[in-house]
A and B are shown apart, each in its own frame.
Chain A
């Protein structure tokens, strides 16, 4: 196939041309991993997955859009893979199988699609998960902005971990620095002419989650994606009807993210992360979990940032660096840079 070409309507029409696309871009790249009797390469209407010996099946889905499609530290392919993998991981599930359904704008460069699929593949390989089924649709030029990736995923948890099964006195951990992805995308999108060494943190967090689960004491987990840490903690506090207090001085934020946040007036705690997890753990295991997280490169900046309380049920309290206190609320929409 000509990788210099562009996607046209026939690539989504299910005929010979679509078949070429499937073989050249998908089958040549993704291997069957023997998860079931009928896998990707059988090209059947669906795939089968063997029933796990124990534990429960976790199923999730997500549609991924990002502008720009390629950004420092990743692209929409890695974002889609990590996004679905991380939804499984924070449920306590080892990721097994994913689907991938690209919706592509007519005229989209084949070479870019090739790069995106390679990223998706490489990200799955990091946690040994398999692509087992998929679908391709092509939309007329102008009907969408380039590319949308939908991906569903199945994993096995023993048992699954919810995002609100914690108690007062439990300890809140974060697996690394906050705001990296959101600020990277903001910079790439707004073209402020600001040069930084900043890149997205997009990565599968399962290796970290697996370590923490092995220690025990993990009560709840959540990935702080859209809305950042602020949204994740507020969702957890509301569901659990408990308060969460976090200490600003202990929340890891890169200096460049902090600087941009101050300059643009956009809080680092309210922008997305794509390679982090919030863990609420029992106090007696907190230090051990922190230690094991920090031994992994993805968890080098992991930190204990706060605890669960009975004060202000449903709300998140921030103890500021200077010793003040305020609520850290659910962010509203997309943040806008302020005037001066």
Chain B
């Protein structure tokens, strides 16, 4: 059996599924994860069908492009319209801003390029020394260290960063503060925690009395993490557990954390669909001001317009709804004609549910 398949072993999957059935309390259990990669794996492998009907899994704010606030998108669009080369991740291209998307800016002559990393954008800047190049840096703790790595590596003078990085643990806390919120446990993202370490959730588990289990992304990783999660819910315990020890440690990645600390300071951040979350965003430190596109191009932090009539993206991003609760889902709103950001971003719950058949509960 190839390594790729060894984490999908059907015999082990069945055993874990049976364990979850045994461990789960009979009352409804709502488990929230905050990661598009988790949602994609759950949907792709039909894992919801392996869980008891009482266990519900929801995606919270796990889609970085979905939570990127419109003023930042508007700023990137304006830069492209002004003749600056704007580089960003592929699924950022079609996220609606106030007026238009980056893709629309490109279609009318803007130089907007899809890259796989900040380093690719630096390479474009080096290859085109006469051209201003901006990397529109979005994403969580997974992509922020890659942005930091290029910042400390003497990028060329024509390169700068439009930073819109966000932090996951503050968003997990913010969700629990919402009125009428009922979350029984968090399934925490393995890759974010590879950087942060499991101790990043200690305060969350303690202060909110909520179980946090860190899970990987293969089907067996997720089922194992869910088994630990439902056990905690059933037992009434609330601590941080690591169900992904082959990648995640308690202290995280010292190198990545040091890079983040060197380059960024933590500030309050605006999340699309959620609002301002304290200490949840990254800003370039003053010593990197030369690299800051906001300073270089005098970008104003204007309001932007993010409410889309009829779209329930903000409920989905706060784990208060699932895509099929939205009247637009798979009708007016599809990946070809997306209405809200959750259908645009490849990590968005709507886009994922649509991609994997729209119905999560086939048994």
- Chain A residues close to B by CB (< 8 Å): 192, 249, 255, 258-259, 262, 265, 267, 317-329, 332-333, 336-340
Contacts and interface: CB of A to CB of B under 8 A. Distances in A.
Interface stretch (B6-14, B208-216, B257-265): B6-14
6 A-B pairs with the lowest CB-CB distances in the bound complex, closest first: A324-B46, A327-B357, A322-B13, A338-B346, A326-B46, A339-B89
B37 A329 contact: no
A258 B5 CA distance: 10
Nearest to B93: A336
Interface in B260-297: none
A249 B346 contact: no
Interface stretch (B47-55, B74-82, B176-184, B307-315): B47-55
A322 B91 contact: no
26 contacts: A249-B10, A258-B2, A265-B40, A265-B346, A318-B357, A321-B10, A322-B8, A322-B13, A322-B220, A323-B10, A324-B45, A324-B219, A325-B363, A326-B360, A327-B362, A328-B357, A329-B354, A332-B336, A336-B93, A338-B347, A339-B143, A339-B346, A339-B347, A340-B64, A340-B140, A340-B142
B315 to A, nearest CB: 23
Given A322-B8, A324-B362, 19 more contacts: A258-B2, A317-B362, A318-B357, A321-B10, A321-B13, A321-B219, A325-B46, A325-B49, A326-B45, A326-B49, A326-B362, A327-B359, A329-B356, A332-B336, A333-B336, A339-B89, A339-B90, A339-B91, A340-B142
A321 B5 contact: yes
A265 B90 CA distance: 12
B363 to A, nearest CB: 7
A192 B17 CA distance: 38
Nearest to A331: B355
Contacts of B363: 325
B219 A255 contact: no
B95 to A, nearest CB: 11
Interface residues on B, range: 35 or more
Given A326-B357, A337-B116, A320 B46 contact: yes
B358 A322 contact: no
Nearest to B64: A339
B356 A326 contact: yes
Given A340-B142, A340-B191, A320 B37 contact: no
Looking at B43, B50, B64, B334, the one whose CB has the most chain A CB atoms below 10 A away is B50
Interface string B31-62: 00000110010011111111000000000000
Contacts of B17: 323
B96 interface: no
B139 interface: yes
B4 A255 contact: yes
B169 interface: no
A313 to B, nearest CB: 15
A321 to B, nearest CB: 4
B91 A336 contact: yes
A329 B358 contact: yes
A317 B362 CA distance: 9
B62 to A, nearest CB: 11
B71 interface: no
Contacts of B91: 336, 338-339
B341 interface: no
B342 interface: no
B335 interface: yes
B240 interface: no
B346 A336 contact: yes
B187 interface: no
B140 to A, nearest CB: 8
Contacts of A262: 4
Interface in B159-180: none
Contact of A327 (B89, B139, B358): B358
Contacts of B358: 327, 329
B2 A255 contact: yes
B65 interface: yes
A315 to B, nearest CB: 8
Contacts of B48: 324
Contacts of B335: 332-333
